[in-house]
Chain A
Amino acid sequence: MPKEKFTILESTCVPLPLENVDTDQIIPARFLSATSREGFGDNLFRDWRYTKSGEKNSDFVLNNSRFEGKVLVAGKNFGSGSSREHAVWAIFDYGFRAVVSSFFADIFMNNSLNNGLLPIVIPADLLSNLQDLIRKDPGSKVHIDLANQTFTIVPTGESVAFSINPYKKECMLGGLDDIDFLLAIKDQIISYEENKKRV
């Protein structure tokens, strides 16, 4: 089944410079009882975004009207902990299409790539400069070119190459789906099973 394609994204950013942000913060467990993929964006970062009494917490970046955009600029080790894909659904549903960090937790990275949310790893010093730049000038944009695997900070012109595995890159560029791929090679899977039985 086709998915949203990702080719080029130019956008302002939302900065979240905390380290080790785990998926329990992205979407707390008490919101995991749904049986569909939709609507998780409302509870993205729920316990940071709202106070105990349910008011918006004005200190939290998502409630700060200075910052908006489709790119979340996170701190190192983003997405650690639980494998809940709901974390990625929440980020995507809220409107982000890329997350930038100096490194991501493994499962979060896979889940992102499986949902059309592009995780981009950039060097720690560049990440820190980018955080500072966005704080100073929230209008600063970044330019992401997936086909050429480049990440550019528009106002400064700084550009770095990012890596992505070639298969996932093709999937994201074409909006292709893993299950269609697996169903297409079912004969190979069956012959693997038969070989294994013989051994």
Chain B
Amino acid sequence: MATEKNHTNLEAKTLYDKIWDSHVVRSIAGGPDVLYIDRHYIHEVTSPQAFNGLKERGISVFRPGNTLATADHNIPTRDQHLPIRDELSRNQVTRLSENCSKYGIELFGLNHSKNGIVHVIGPELGFTLPGMTIVCGDSHTSTHGAFGTIAFGIGTSEVEMVLAAQCIIQPKSKKMRISINGLPGKGVTSKDIIMYVISEITTGGATGYFVEFSGQAIRSLSMEARMTICNMSIEMGARGGVIAPDETTFNYLRKIPSIRGIDDIEAAIDKWKTLSTDEGAKFDRELVFEASDINPMITYGTNPGMGMSVDEAIPMAEKNSSEASPSFLKSLNYMGFKPGMSLLGHPVDYVFIGSCTNGRIEDFRAFAGIIKGRKKSDNVTALIVPGSKLVEEQMAAEGLIEIYTAAGFEVRQPGCSSCLAMNEDKIPQGKYAVSTSNRNFEGRQGPGSRTMLASPLTAAAAAITGRISDPREFL
């Protein structure tokens, strides 16, 4: 259960304040700030209209070196060496390549040795660094907050602003701190932690806020796991999520072979050590949760706030409400579930592991830990999609691909894939998918698809048994 804290020191600053304030080019009286953007990521789906805008205005990209591009949203995850079959998708990917070469933007496109999902490759290639402001025309840009950055999703009009002037115009958000005390138990991953928080505060519970995550449980997490937490902060409505950098962050960055613009990593780290919230700084809202209250989670409805422990029964109504609303019942009806129903043992048709939420090496290791020496259930179709080429390479190097193959799983090529099903990786009408992605919206994984969000461990347990299962029984 959450408890609220309230103690303030007016001179102290939050990490969010420190980064934001140092990036304000100018404040507009009574209105928003003109915010300078250090790093801009673009992809094929939300950028073409922005480039059209530049062309119509007859202007160029102001700072092409600050923008990096990848093709990830609509690309196939098989036979990537062949031309993309879908004409519209092929056209979008071609347009991205044309725009990048025209304006001098570096592209990690399809078939590039470092291609992958934008929020996976940015960090692994050392383009996401503490203290930066980072934007991308994709709501899961919040992922990069795991490195102590202000990172958030923007619309295409704002993509055009960044291309034109390296700035956006936005008001500062309110500030929230969410602390998770203690250490998570067996089988409880960072995915479960963030799904638990969202289920407690609802899908709109952090709207208007930028959230800092802290506490022992957060400090104990790897960078990959922290990225999962910040990634899903948008699913509770937050502008973004941030975690102050520490030795875990610095060690991750030390391992990257070379970081552009950084000659002396230790000198940079000394500077980054100042990136934390001052003692007594004021948050507009503070929430504290206990890690020991958190179990492996699963969603039962059509927004990420409709989550519960995998061994619980579906509630009779929304949180803090005695009677089910029409929206709540519509959601359960879509899923083919009823209030009070338990999901343990419910048949599963598809399992998807991948996406910017759980498409990193650690996620595939966790999944492999459960399937090793076991077999995929015959009634399950599995989509195993690494988040990037580097993740795919590392899976091969660690022998994970053999484990997947031996258990009857095919490992595909990187991309966003079934998370938003813009490519062929669609879950069919009415079918149930346990998915490690971030959204269980109606039709998100294909028209009529029924998504249950979960961790890689819970997904692996479902893939082996063909049913919703408690992953703790397999550890």
Contact = CB atoms under 8 A, between A and B. Distances in A.
A107 B154 contact: yes
Given A20-B327, A75-B327, A77-B203, A182 B49 contact: no
Given A35-B95, A52-B447, A85-B156, A105 B207 contact: yes
A147 interface: no
Interface stretch (B24-32, B182-190, B407-415): B24-32
Main secondary structure of the interface of B (DSSP, over half): loop
Contacts of B442: 24-25, 47
Given A1-B56, A83-B155, A165-B32, A35 B204 contact: no
Size bracket of the B interface: 35 or more
Contact of A114 (B158, B167, B429): B158
Nearest to A85: B155
A192 B25 contact: yes
A165 to B, nearest CB: 5
Contact of B46 (A75, A83, A167): A83
Given A52-B448, A80-B204, A37 B49 contact: yes
Contacts of A85: 46, 49, 137, 155-157
Given A30-B422, A33-B89, A52 B429 contact: yes
Interface string B117-160: 00000000000000000000111010000000000111111101
Interface string B408-434: 000000000000111000000100000
Contacts of A166: 28-31
A70 to B, nearest CB: 21
Contact of B52 (A19, A32, A36, A83): A36
Interface of B: 25-26, 28-32, 34, 36, 45-46, 48-49, 52-53, 56-57, 59, 62, 73-74, 86, 88-89, 91-92, 95, 137-139, 141, 152-158, 160-161, 164-167, 169-171, 173, 203-204, 207-208, 234, 237, 239, 303, 305, 325-327, 330, 420-422, 429, 439, 441-444, 447-448
Give 8 nearest A-B pairs by CB, closest first. A167-B31, A33-B88, A85-B155, A182-B165, A77-B204, A83-B153, A35-B48, A111-B155
Given A19-B325, A22-B439, A103-B207, 4 more contacts: A35-B52, A114-B155, A189-B36, A189-B167
